[in-house]
Structure 1
C-alpha cells in the first residue's frame, strides 16, 4: 500500500488537498455593473480604500421648462374641467329635452281629454236641446181644435190660472213676441224640427223677437188678454212661419210625446 504508484495516485487524485483561494463577491466581478454609489460602497468594503460616497443625482429644470410643465399641467386640468362641464351641460340638456317631451305628452293627453270631454258635453247638450217639454206642467183642455161658434178654432185652449209659467218646448228661435189683435200678448217660436208654435192671451211676455230658447226656458205667463173669456193658453201649431196654415195640435202633441 506504500508503493510509489499508490502514493502518486493519492496525491495526484481526488484525495489531494487543494489550497483554498479567496473568492471575490460576484458583485466585484468584471461582468457585473452596479450604480455608481453602490459600487463605491463595495470597493470600500473589499479593499479598505476610502472612496467618497456618491451624492444623489438631481435634475435641475430651467425656468422655461418649469413654465412649460406648469402650462401643460394647467392645460390638462382645464381640459378635464371642460370635459366635466360639457358632460354636465349635456346631462342638463338631455334632462331638459326629456322634460319638454314629457310636458308635450302631458299637454297632448290633456288636450285629448279636454276634446273628448267637450265633444261629450256638446253631444249631451245637443241631446238636451232636442228634448221636448210641455208648455204648461198641468193643463185642462177647455176648447178643442175645429169648428166653434160659426168659425174654425185653429188651436186648443189649455186652462190654467193667470200667472202660471209658460215654457219653451224645445230648442228654437223666437219669431214674434208682442201684442196681436185678438191674441192679445202673443209669442211665436220656430223649433229645430221646423214646427211653429203660437202662444196667445198671455198676461206677460218674458222674451223678445230673435231670442234663442231651450227646453224649459220660461217665455211668459198665462193670462186673459185679447179676445178671451177666461184665463187660459191658446196653443196653436202652424206649418209655416209666414202664412196662417194651422194644424190640429193633438196629433202633434202625441207625436212629440207630450199628450
Structure 2
C-alpha cells in the first residue's frame, strides 16, 4: 500500500451526520475500533429520574386535588350545618310564636267563657220572692227542686266561704269576677271549699233542706261585695246578666 493516508468514506466525513448508533456502527466497520455503549445507559438512567420526578409531581398534584376536595367538602358541610342551625332556629321561633298565639287565644277564650252567666238551678220552681214575708224581709229567692238536684256556679269566681250555718244549713258564698257575691243555702251537700276557683256551670252543691227550712229548695241571695250584708233583689240582678231561669 502506498504512503498515502487511508481515506475515510464520505459518509464518515465531518460534514455528514448519522444517528448515533448508525454512525458508531459505520466507524466500527471502517476502522475496526470498538464503540462504548455508555450513552444508551445514561439515557436510561435519565429516563428513570424523569419518571421519578413525574411520579412525584403527579403525587403532589393528586395530594393538592385531594386537599382541595377535602376543604370543599368541609366547607360544604359547615355551610350545611350553619344552614341547618338557622332553619332550626327559624322553626323554633315559628313554633314559639304559634304556641304564644295559641296560648293567647286560649286565655282570651277562657276569659270570655269565664264571663258567661248561667242559671244556678235548672228546672226549679220559684216558691218565694225577694221582699216582705211573715213580718220581715225575705232577702233572697227560694227555688224549689228535688233534693240532690245539682247547683251550678253562675260565672267565673272564687269560693269565699263553705260551711254549715245554724239557719242557712249548708251554705257557700261565691265571689264572681264582677265583684258581686252569691249565697247558696239549705243545700244537702257542699262540693267546693273556700279558695276554690269555679267556672260557669261547675257543680258546687246539691239542693237540700238543711238549717231552717220547710222543704228542699235553694235559697239564693245576691250581695254587692264579699263581707257586705246588703242583699239586693236577685231577680233584677239575674235579668241584668241575661239569666232567665229564676
Structural mapping, 1:55-70, within 5 Å: 58=43, 60-61=45-46
Structural mapping, 1:1-259, within 5 Å: 40=23, 58=43, 60-61=45-46, 71-259=56-244
- Per-residue deviation, 1:232: 0.6
| Residues 148 and 95 (structure 1), Cα distance of their counterparts in 2 relative to 1, 3 Å cut | same
- Per-residue deviation, 1:96: 1.4
For 1:139 and 1:60, the matched residues in 2 are separated by 121
| SS of 1:247 mapped into structure 2 | coil
TM-score by length of 2: 0.80
| SS of 1:200 mapped into structure 2 | strand
- Per-residue deviation, 1:71: 5.0
- Per-residue deviation, 1:93: 1.0
| Residues 33 and 149 (structure 1), Cα distance of their counterparts in 2 relative to 1, 3 Å cut | farther
| SS of 1:58 mapped into structure 2 | helix
TM-score by length of 1: 0.76
- Per-residue deviation, 1:180: 1.2
| SS of 1:60 mapped into structure 2 | helix
Query: Cα RMSD over matched residues?
Result: 3.3
Q: Which runs of 4+ in 1 moved over 4 A?
A: 32-38, 54-57, 61-73
For 1:168 and 1:218, the matched residues in 2 are separated by 6
For 1:34 and 1:124, the matched residues in 2 are separated by 109
Structure with more contact order per residue of length (Cα contacts < 8 Å, sep ≥ 6): 2
- Per-residue deviation, 1:114: 1.6
| SS of 1:233 mapped into structure 2 | strand
Unaligned runs of 5+ in 1: 1-29
Aligned residue-pair number: 226
For 1:242 and 1:216, the matched residues in 2 are separated by 24
| SS of 1:197 mapped into structure 2 | strand
For 2:92 and 2:183, the matched residues in 1 are separated by 50
